Amino acid sequence: MKQKKKKGFGKKFVITMVCGLLCGLLTAGGLTGYSYIRYQKEKKAEEAKKQEEEKRLEGEELAVSGEQKEAGDNRVSSVYDVSVVWDNTIPSMVTIDTRRVTYYEFFGRTYEDESEGSGSGVIIAQADELFIVTNHHVIDGATAIQVTFVDGSTAPATIKGSNATEDIAVLCVQFSDLTKETLQAIKVATIGDSDLLTGGEMVIAIGNAAGGGQSLTVGYVSAVDREVEIQGVPMKLIQTDAAINPGNSGGALLDATGALIGINNAKLVATKVEGVGYAIPISNVISLIHQLVNREEIDYEDSAVIGIVGQDVTENLSEALNIPIGVYIKEFSEDSPARDAGIPLFSVITEVNGMEVKTMEQLRDVLGHIRGGSTGTVTVQERVEGEYEEKEYEITFSIRGK
């Protein structure tokens, strides 16, 4: 009996030891698992904190970078929806159709040759009439001019004024030739500042390309103040890779906001050249446009004369003889207002009443819109001790019909 009890005790001892060992292992495992889970949570929290810190530092760097950029360059770079620009500006655009009639004689008989042309224009102002700016070469020699507006209506136009040297012309349309619906559909263009242009800015060209109606092309400013000679006349133009095709002449070059910054002028056509178009900077000619818009219509007999015999000083003569470009005074006529004003013989006239004068044709055109008997100014380049100096003289114009 005693031996049986001893055996039972040993069995219980072994079971107790095994259970204790198992409990120890489970406890240790539980503690180890808990430590591992806690470690992982702490690790993730530390990584999240690190990422937030990196984002914060990155944001500070961007802010500093932005401040430095703003300090060095105040321009704002934005992306505009070109379709919005189209909708906002197309009411200011017109197409221009011209008709020219040339007469010639052949074996004693007079024949008539009629030709047609097309171009573009921009509504620049409205007062008692509607004023449209275009290129001089678009309307040069035209015997009839018709303008088509955004709503498809048409109206006849007349030439208010033109300047061949700058290749700028202003047309006028009478309100009586426009319907109420057309007046509500059209609007005056917003004038921009081409002096602020830099290379790489986006520009938009709108015009009557190839005579097929208004169309739009987009490009960038390739160069500003590009010196180009067009039909023998040197000009400083905006160069762009926006497509400017025949019929675009006189149309609008717009900045990304839709402001008018140039008048499309020409396209350089050559077999090895592509993506080169030109526009007249609006800031260079806006003063001239205003003068053409505001000039007075005067009967020929009532217009002004200054009493000179002049000669054009062309680019070639200017370079060869070192004389300023303008109208060279060769002699005075009898009772000459120019001589009475004290203007020296052999001076070169460059402006009359603030209007640029480079040729005798321009001089006659300017005087044709000045009332005889009025007082004005004549600006000349006057030779003083071997050098030309600019001087302005007050003058009382004579009346042509007297």
Question: Which of 167, 194, 222, 255 is an active site residue?
Answer: 167
The H-or-E segment that residue 119 falls in is strand 109-126
Q: Pick the residue with more confidence: 383 or 18?
A: 383
What residue ranges of the chain are covered by domains with CATH 2.30.42.10? 297-399
pLDDT beyond 80 at 74? no
Task: Choose among 291, 296, 189, 198: nearest CA to 250.
Answer: 189
Q: Encode pLDDT of 234-265 as tens digits.
A: 788 999 999 888 888 999 999 999 999 999 98
The reported pLDDT for the residue numbered 223 is 93
The reported pLDDT for the residue numbered 254 is 96
pLDDT beyond 80 at 323? yes
Could you please state the CATH topology (level 3) that the domain comprising 86-185 is classified under. Thrombin, subunit H (2.40.10)
Q: Supply 243's token pair.
A: 């497509």
Say whether domain 297-399 belongs to CATH 2.30.42.10: yes
Q: Which of 50-64, 147-161, 287-301 has the highest mean pLDDT?
A: 147-161
Q: How confident is the model at residue 12 (pLDDT cuts 50, 70, 90)?
A: low
DSSP letter for 8, please. Answer: H
Question: Which of 92, 97, 137, 162 is an active site residue?
Answer: 137
Q: How far is CA 229 from CA 166, 226, 266, 267, 277, in A?
A: 12, 10, 11, 12, 13
Contacts made by residues 199-202, CB under 8 angstroms, sequence distance 24+: 199/223, 199/224, 201/255, 201/256, 202/80, 202/255, 202/256
Active site (annotated) includes residue 120: no
Please state, as a whole number, how many other Cβ atoms lie within 10 Å of the Cβ of residue 100: 15
The reported pLDDT for the residue numbered 385 is 87
Q: Encode pLDDT of 167-188 as tens digits.
A: 999 999 999 999 999 999 999 9
Contacts made by residues 107-111, CB under 8 angstroms, sequence distance 24+: none
Task: Choose among 179, 117, 170: nearest CA to 150.
Answer: 179
Task: Choose among 241, 290, 282: nearest CA to 260.
Answer: 282
What residue ranges of the chain are covered by domains with CATH 2.40.10.10? 86-185, 194-293
Q: Pick the residue with more confidence: 151 or 100?
A: 151
Q: Do residues 49 and 41 make contact, with C-beta atoms less than 8 angstroms apart?
A: no
pLDDT beyond 90 at 4? no
pTM tops 0.75: no
pLDDT beyond 50 at 71? no
**Residue type at position 166:** E
The reported pLDDT for the residue numbered 204 is 95
Q: How confident is the model at residue 70 (pLDDT cuts 50, 70, 90)?
A: very low
Active site (annotated) includes residue 73: no
Active site (annotated) includes residue 249: yes
* Top-level class of domain 194-293: mainly beta
31 Cβ contact partners less than 8 Å away, ≥ 6 residues apart: none
The reported pLDDT for the residue numbered 49 is 63
Question: Which of 162, 249, 347, 398 is an active site residue?
Answer: 249
Cβ burial, residue 347 (10 Å; 0-12/13-18/19+): buried
Cβ burial, residue 197 (10 Å; 0-12/13-18/19+): buried
Q: Pick the residue with more confidence: 60 or 305?
A: 305
Q: How confident is the model at residue 344 (pLDDT cuts 50, 70, 90)?
A: very high
Q: How confident is the model at residue 76 (pLDDT cuts 50, 70, 90)?
A: very low
DSSP letter for 360, please. Answer: H
**Residue type at position 328:** Y
Q: Do residues 95 and 155 make contact, with C-beta atoms less than 8 angstroms apart?
A: no
